[in-house]
Structure 1
Amino acid sequence: MLKCIVAEDEALLSTALRRELAVAWPELAIVEVAEDGGAALEAIANHRPDVAFLDIRMPGLTGMEVAAAAADASPSTLVVFVTAYDQYAVDAFERGAVDYLLKPVTAERLAHTVARLRGRLAEAGRHAERASRMARDLLERFDPQPDEPLTWITASAGRGTRLILVDDVIYFRADNKYTVVATGEGDALLSRPIRDLLRQLDPRTFRQIHRSTIVNLRHVASVERDDSGKGCLRLRGRPDTLAVSQPCMAIFRAM
């Protein structure tokens, strides 16, 4: 379902707009209603809605200021300005607005706006699908997976070089353009980024638990969860604990 934010400081006008939207666009879910500019910008940043209907004159930030900031907070959000003053029309379209509605908003005029929004969203979806298909094709063509996972790696340790069996690695951690290799015998430094390394590791044994960390599942002693859904790993053979991002906690649900 498509998501929408409505920002309007006058309660009666806000209710009327939401009622008309429910009729004109039933599949559009209004996920939050804001009564001032600051709340509107926060709602857009939190929900990243498909559409935002913004009153131009609101307490705090104006609708124009909210739209300007929302371009960074949620670039894909389509903006429609709603106002009682027609002198802002030129500025509204210069801000990239899809449409500009004058109060009171009529059902006929809103239907026209909904049609324009549907068209823009459909066009964006087609572009995204084409881009995704092209990316998959390029990946398959120019970036094939290795036939066999890594077995050994050579990494720097002080002034020397260590030959390390991959099964002995407890975890890998990103360090700028390098990767720290953590084993039971200490750390070494690998001169390649962690994103390249991940593609050469056996996914049955090594899993990414954070954008900067890959862990060897055979060396995980226990996992702890906090109330926010994030986790922490305790390891066999190392005193370190490793943070697990919330999306990656699904790996350990069976533990």
Structure 2
Amino acid sequence: MNETTTTSTPSRIRAVLADDERLMREQLRSRLTEVWPELDIVAEGKNGLEAVDLVREHKPDLVFLDIRMPGLTGVDAARQIAQLPDQGDDDEWLVPEIVFITAYDQYAVEAFEQGVADYVLKPAERERLQVTVQRIKKRLAQRQDNADAAPESGGGGNSNAAPLQQLLHKLSAQLNPGGKPAYLQWIQATVGQAIQMIPVEDVLFFISDEKYTRVQTATLEALIRKPIKELVDELDPALFWQIHRSTLVNVKAIAGVTRDFRGRQLVGVKGNNEKLEVSRSYTHLFKGM
């Protein structure tokens, strides 16, 4: 990881760059310096997890992400980055612009056609990078115009967040061989005053109320602002069963199913004393158990 020591001014654009190949990071940084000398690359990361942490720390305007990185892909890192403003207390910070670094043109074309992200094909050629820089400058200027036009709305809002998440979900599915969806491997959640990365396999269950979803493991309880209807699409259905419109349970954590005096099915969970109600629509899951 390498951070520049250049002092930023409010007019300068700040960027984070993440690629697991050091030579690719150096090449992209060098080319960006040539075509966009006023850009501040405030931090660099070697993988997706580092990228998420660096974005949370520096709150950049722009993020360059290699699509394929170990631990957490660039696409999954972008999905987490798109949620960060909703989890913090900085109402002025918007979802940063995303530029994917990729050797796979099929992903890049879809990203550009959606209009919510851009791409640079490896190796980063100067002429193509200039096109990306102009697009990003234009989008950042439009964002600033929207913020200036509606200051009372908290900076114009994260209007690109929803379409960006939809695109990232599609790209994540494409990254997996055979077209199988790339399910979430980590949950980024609030624990007290801190943000913590929780492995999905450690989660016993998710329960939502109107505003938050509780993430329960054997050792901690955390909160996220992602509704159950989104988690259903992002989690492996072989590992997590929906048993109620507000509840998902880890199949491996199910200790047994009982009935209460009203005949309702209740799921017992290993490592937790809580009983989870099964709604009528999902009772078929436990037939024969």
Larger strand share, 1 or 2: 1
Q: TM-score scaled to structure 1, two decimals?
A: 0.50
Q: TM-score scaled to structure 2, two decimals?
A: 0.44
